[in-house]
A = this chain, B = another copy of it.
Amino acid sequence: MSNAIGRCFVVTSFGESHGSCVGVLVDGCPAGLTLNEAVLSQDLQRRRATGQPGATPRSEPDAPRIVSGVLNDTTTGAPICMMVDNLNVKSEAYESLADTPRPGHADYPAGVKYGRFNDPRGGGRFSGRITAGFVMAGSVAKAALATVGIEIFAHTVSIENVMAASVVVADARQAWKKNPLSCADPEAAAEMARAIASAASDGDSVGGVVECLALNVPVGLGEPVFDSVESVVSHALYSIPAVKGVEFGAGFGLASMRGTASNDAYAMENDAVRTTKNDAGGVLGGISSGMPIVARAAIKPTPSVSMSQKTVNLATGTDTSLSIEGRHDACIVPRAVVVVEAMMAISLCDLAIRAGVLRKVIE
């Protein structure tokens, strides 16, 4: 296992779905940031299951505790250890899964890799619950980036076959406040809710796409050749369980364009160098160009479905089938929005420190 990410802003995840807590340790955070439990709570609330259609009935208050690195509501530069307790734990439903791996889940490869000592309760380290830790680290990263004007936010752009219309930045920024789907297009949001409800009533699940923007990123983040913006951000985004695709700017669409169409022309705008469109997603040669960084993450449908699925019995070596009980989300996309935002913030915060944009002490 490797539970740390980042070179200068180092985030280490710990905790299990049904252990005493899930948490995160942030080493390398600049000193002088305002930070307290209230700052963390806002993002944690967005990750909670409450209110979102098709969300798991497991309800956790997710009240954060900061146990180091903060004095008088201000970061000191020391490592910040943060955690939320696990209170609503119901482990029995998982015990029968040991021999019949759930399709689409980590059960089988994790079982082979980690063997009999692995914590199986509620998915253990493979549960989406550990992203509560990611979100707390993301809140810290966003606060750090905000000190140099960088703003990061994500929104839902598709659920199953429902695509949101293109929106202006101001609307994308407000998406998470507008509806439980964090979708900036209200009509699409309504349709998405119906798609999720339909899947849920079938005992099935759906996926979607989350887009994340970083605004006011100065030119120069990214450390080519091997730590380009795309390399570092995609590394972080792929740490989110269920992400199976990551693209920047026009992404896969660029593959079918011609160079004259895909290139973003430069133009002066109020004495600043800008591009007239942003198909590059704000990154050229692996380095931020000064335009918004735009990344999209494809999130597969939740693999836990109550419909019967074919699997194998590892004990007997025979084929069998499985209906998954327990408490699951029919669609995790709305809850993943703030997680995508967190991982984007964590990775850009690391690059901002490495580029000298973000200093160790906030003046």
Q: For the complex, what is the distance from the CA of A2 to the CA of B266, rounded to whole Å?
A: 27
Which residues of chain B are within 8 angstroms of A356 by Cβ–Cβ distance?
356, 359-360
A172 within 8 A of partner (CB): no
- Docked pose: A141 CA to B16 CA in angstroms: 22
- List B contacts of A1 (CB < 8 A): 27-28, 77-79, 223-225
Query: Do A255 and B207 form a contact, CB below 8 Å, given A114-B77, A309-B263?
Result: yes
Alpha-carbon separation in the docked complex, A10 to B11 (Å): 13
Is A273 in contact with chain B by the CB < 8 A criterion? yes
Contact for A3 among B125, B226, B249, B318, CB less than 8 A: B226
Q: Are A83 and B67 interface neighbours, CB within 8 A? A: yes
CB pair A287 B109 closer than 8 Å: yes
Complex: A78 Cα to B121 Cα, angstroms: 13
CA–CA, A252 and B280, complex, Å:
18
How many residues of chain A are within 8 Å of chain B by beta carbon?
A: 148
Are A118 and B262 also in contact (CB < 8 A) when A160-B256, A360-B356 are? Answer: no
Would you give the shortest CB distance from A283 to chain B, in whole angstroms?
8
- A299 at the binding interface (Cβ < 8 Å): yes
Which residues of A does B touch, CB under 8 Å? 1-5, 7, 10, 12-16, 19-23, 25, 27-28, 31-32, 67-69, 71, 74-81, 83, 101, 103-110, 112-115, 117-119, 121, 124-126, 130, 158, 160-161, 199, 202, 204-209, 219-220, 222-228, 230-232, 234-236, 238-239, 241, 243-268, 271, 273, 275-276, 280-281, 284-290, 298-305, 307, 309-312, 314, 317-319, 354-356, 359-362
